[in-house]
Amino acid sequence: MTDALPMTQGKGLALSPGALAGLKVIDLTRVLGGPYCTMVLSDHGAEVIKLEPPQGDEVRDWGPPFDEAGDASYFLGVNRNKRSVGLDLAKPEGREVLLRLLEGADVLVENFKPGSMEKWGLGYEAVLRERFPALVHCRVSGFGGDGPDGGFPGYDAVLQAMTGLMSINGTGDSGPTRLGNPIVDIATGLFSAIAILMALQERVRSGQGQYLDMTLHDCGMALLHPHAANYFLSGRRPMATGNPHPNLAPYSKFRTRTCEIFVAAGNDPAFRKFCEFLGMPELAGDPRFATNGARVTNREALTALLEARFAAEDGHALTRRMLQAGLPAGPVRHVDEAMAAPHTAHREMVTELDGYRGLGTPIKLSRTPGGTRAPPPRFAEHTEAVLARHGFSAEEIAALREGGVLVEARRK
């Protein structure tokens, strides 16, 4: 049932129908975790129908900056390739519309508060599994529906705090610090996409769909490597170390004459090569630095020596020479600098289409490359077209619109 989306000139565009062509996804999610998941699927050919509540996805308002139509960058960044339908699920007729749209759907993704779908008579166990046995139903929530924290609301920074991620970010002076990007939401979107693909693969064998219980809590916890592993083995509470790696040295940020750089020596042979490159072979033979364990123990002394060595260098030229010598290193770039880097363009990690610019897909497939297919939708932009394709007559659509079930302008 997937329509071919028109392609024009741009960057990072999908050059094939995609690995997930023919997959139909009904998307009831808002904010970030769920929409990030469905964007990943849509980049690779899935038809994603985004059913927005009367107020719309609230991140349309999470700005500035806003585009010329008033949609915030936060929304634009994670909703390309989707079709938007404005639908009031609080009305029984709206829930009937959803059930008709689920006919032939492969995946339903939602992030309502646990219990909401059940309250509406749309629970997986009681209704959806019986009516749509092949449906994969993915629920994204803060903590799940049961347990000591079950049903509580979840936002990224709150889960960064509660799962321990914040405690190992920052420095001893700063104290626990929120990561600068919403890492728990994004990770939950990625884990959810993986879970959906697993369930679809299993469905090939069994013919059955299943329910996927994805939480910000669990996905945040899953990001705690190596700090959780360190704790399990040592019994000591992991602490924030700033830029240095807790288990490796040198693996940190250093100042140079022109910029800050990050260098990484992952093992003892790499450190010896690193020292030879810097003209400091004696460091590799120093008992304080001869092994990684010794270097971690004597991190401050090693850092002081390297800071002195790097102080007069042009960091951009130095890290380029290091990379050419096979030594992991790079300049510490600002976001605008990273977007403008030549390799970013080469990898098509900035995508453009019809005035839209965003981050490109990192998933590069040889036969079925994905990418941008359509700009992010305006609110309810595709309501009539989507319903008509699903068998709704013009009279039915008009009646639903008249009854306020279909929403064409956001309710503030």
Residues 6+ apart with CB under 8 A from 116: none
Contact 257, 249 (CB under 8 A): no
Contacts 24+ apart (CB under 8 A), 170-176: 170/240, 170/242, 171/240, 171/241, 171/242, 172/239, 172/240, 172/242, 174/240, 175/240, 176/240
Kindly state the tokens that stand for 248. 């490796």
Q: Is 156 a catalytic residue?
A: no
Contact 372, 12 (CB under 8 A): yes
HSE-CB for 131 with a 13 A CA cutoff = 18
Contact 52, 380 (CB under 8 A): yes
Give the Å distances, CA to CA, from 289 to 245, 267, 269, 281, 298: 16, 12, 12, 11, 7
Cα(305)–Cα(309) distance, integer angstroms = 6
Q: Give me the residue label for tokens 């700009």.
A: 375
Residues 6+ apart with CB under 8 A from 119: none
Cα(92)–Cα(355) distance, integer angstroms = 38
**From the candidates 185, 218, 286, 336, which is the catalytic residue?**
185
Three-class SS state of 253: strand
Q: Give me the residue label for tokens 């079925």.
A: 368
Catalytic residue positions, numbered: 185
